[in-house]
Structure 1
Amino acid sequence: MTEPVALHHVEEGPADAPPVLLGASLGTTHEMWDELATDLARDFRVVRFDTRGHGASPAPASSYTVEGLALDVVALADTLGIDRFAYVGLSLGGAVGQVLGINHGERLTSLVLCCTAPVFGSPETWRERAAQVRSEGVEGLVEATLERWFTPAYRKAHPDRVDWVMDMFRATPAAGYAGCCDALGEYDVSAQLAAIATPTLVVAGADDPGTPPSVGAAMVESIPGSRLEVVDDAAHIANVAQPEVFSAAVRGHLGATVT
């Protein structure tokens, strides 16, 4: 296991409030959480970070593991003097959340797993994507990613918001994106979800082609005491497509589980 890296992060909200850490998707930065962070910072100490290989966090030219990405988050909490925290993660960030729940549950007060899965496709697909990005960069993935992330209706109605997110994607270092592809290719916690004892909300976008509500429903079947909320008119990046509905779901869960 590689040593944790020091994650770039932004803090908002009262320093003495209950802490909430926000983990972003593959190909985005902490900025994807702008609306949710503003909402939660009224009542929580919000810490949002750039995943290893993204944004202003280090991007080592090596293979990563989701377990290693989770240790980065634990190390960040340690650096900030945070013993226990709530965690909200989307897509890759949700994979990190699942590993936190399985391996580091004693650190968690509450867990929100958004637009995510216990396994993402085949290892071969991720190896091929990693090789492509190491060779050509992320630009060749933009169109397919755009179609997965946002519905046609949202792309037509909100081109400025779509461009904002895809600019994050385009700026992702090739080494960091590919390293996280390696991590997802080796990631499969399907048989371990029952070990998550943290109060858990699973959120799914109704129109998400990659992690549809059926995947969220299966996760809820495996995680004791968890529940599912489906966000209508949203694909994979549901928090950007429906920020008010998404924030209300997260806030409702945290309000019921974090003291």
Structure 2
Amino acid sequence: MSIPQITPTLLSEGRGKPVLIAGAGLGTGAKALWIDAVPFLDDFQVVGMDLPGHGASPASTETFTMAELAAGVVNAVEKLRAAGDIAADQEVYYAGVSLGGALGLQLGLDYPEFFAGIGVICSGAKIGEPQSWLDRAETVRASGTPTMVTGSAQRWFAPGFIEKNAEATTRLLHTLQDADRFAYAHCCEALAGFDVREQLGEISTPVLAIAGGQDEVCPPHFAEATAAGVRNGRAAVVDSAAHQAPLEAPEETAKLLREFFLAG
């Protein structure tokens, strides 16, 4: 077990504004997933955080837990502060999708004072079953991430979205195809060990749980359970989206995050 290295990517300028850390899910990259939503998040300096072996982040060489992954994200933010890339006195928010959303809950548990607000998008306090994640890890280790492309395309997007948005979907699926197979497997193993349903009441950071109305992986009742379980939570549904709301409905997803995070 080890704390993985996470490489941030600046998605929008705006030093001196509140910072939004934008996290991505298994097989996706922060830039590919969030870039269409960035123009609607102009109140923030947006920084993408890729999972190990995805996008800009180097591949992990050892297995890691969700808690160790959360530590890697906090380390990356602290380095940005130390380097002056983000202002030390600005509030920092986090919003992540799928595995990235689950990571948000882990961040809320382990670093209760670090983030001013957390967005949990197309995610939940437990995703799938442990054995299915372990089986997928073994498949990808043996055969590579391209074996996941067809199934992921079916799960990720609402019906008809691929045909109408070829550039955006191709961009995201290329991230999956290019992801490091071993790091992808490590992420699967982290998800296999993730279940914080009984700990949600410990999370004091305000949480917005956003579901895709057509998401079969993490349906809307996942978001409702998350919002009801934390101390200060709200649930919302993006009706047109499946499992990748910032890509499928960038303006609506951004509006929900802006209104929740900046309400105070």
The TM-score, its normalising length taken from structure 2, stands at 0.92
Q: Quick one: which of 197, 204, 208 aligns to 1:197?
A: 204
Partner of 2:36: 35
State the AA in 1 paired with 2:16.
D
2: CA distance between counterparts of 1:59 and 1:139?
17
2: CA distance between counterparts of 1:217 and 1:60?
33
Q: 2:4, 2:64 within 8 Å by CA — same for their partners in 1?
A: no
1: CA distance between counterparts of 2:43 and 2:221?
32
State the AA in 1 paired with 2:171.
W
Q: 1:10, 1:49 within 8 Å by CA — same for their partners in 2?
A: no
Q: 1:204, 1:230 within 8 Å by CA — same for their partners in 2?
A: yes
Q: Structure 2 stretches of 5 or more lacking a match?
A: 82-87
Partner of 1:163: 170
Q: What is the DSSP-based 3-state SS (H/G/I as helix, E as strand, rest coil) of the residue aligned with 1:228?
A: strand
> Does residue 1:100 correspond to 2:107, yes or no?
yes
Residue-by-residue CA offset, 1:1-58 (whole Å, 9 max, x unaligned)? 5134242422523211111111111111121110222322x32222112122211211
1: CA distance between counterparts of 2:164 and 2:121?
23
Residues 88-237 of structure 1 aligned to structure 2 (within 5 Å): 88-237=95-244
Residues 14-53 of structure 1 aligned to structure 2 (within 5 Å): 14-31=14-31, 32-40=33-41, 42-53=42-53
Q: 1:29, 1:55 within 8 Å by CA — same for their partners in 2?
A: yes
> Does residue 1:5 correspond to 2:12, yes or no?
no
2: CA distance between counterparts of 1:52 and 1:156?
30
Q: 2:65, 2:193 within 8 Å by CA — same for their partners in 1?
A: yes
Q: Quick one: which of 227, 231, 251 aligns to 2:258?
A: 251
State the AA in 1 paired with 2:134.
R
Residue-by-residue CA offset, 1:140-164 (whole Å, 9 max, x unaligned)? 1111111110122212222232212
Residue-by-residue CA offset, 1:55-93 (whole Å, 9 max, x unaligned)? 121112321211111111110111112575111111111
Q: 1:205, 1:233 within 8 Å by CA — same for their partners in 2?
A: yes
Tell me: CA distance 1:18–1:160, structure 2 relative to 1, closer, same or farther (3 Å): closer
Partner of 1:54: 54
* Higher mean displacement: 131-140 or 218-227: 218-227
2: CA distance between counterparts of 1:16 and 1:8?
18
Q: 1:88, 1:97 within 8 Å by CA — same for their partners in 2?
A: yes
Q: 1:208, 1:234 within 8 Å by CA — same for their partners in 2?
A: yes
Q: What is the DSSP-based 3-state SS (H/G/I as helix, E as strand, rest coil) of the residue aligned with 2:74?
A: helix
The TM-score, its normalising length taken from structure 1, stands at 0.94
Q: CA RMSD in A?
A: 1.5
Residues 58-69 of structure 1 aligned to structure 2 (within 5 Å): 58-69=58-69
State the AA in 1 paired with 2:142.
S
2: CA distance between counterparts of 1:206 and 1:249?
14
Q: What is the DSSP-based 3-state SS (H/G/I as helix, E as strand, rest coil) of the residue aligned with 2:36?
A: helix
Q: What is the DSSP-based 3-state SS (H/G/I as helix, E as strand, rest coil) of the residue aligned with 2:37?
A: helix
Q: 1:53, 1:180 within 8 Å by CA — same for their partners in 2?
A: no
2: CA distance between counterparts of 1:116 and 1:23?
12
* Higher mean displacement: 153-162 or 137-146: 153-162
1: CA distance between counterparts of 2:186 and 2:3?
15
Tell me: CA distance 1:256–1:10, structure 2 relative to 1, closer, same or farther (3 Å): same
Q: 1:24, 1:92 within 8 Å by CA — same for their partners in 2?
A: yes
Identity of aligned residues (%): 34
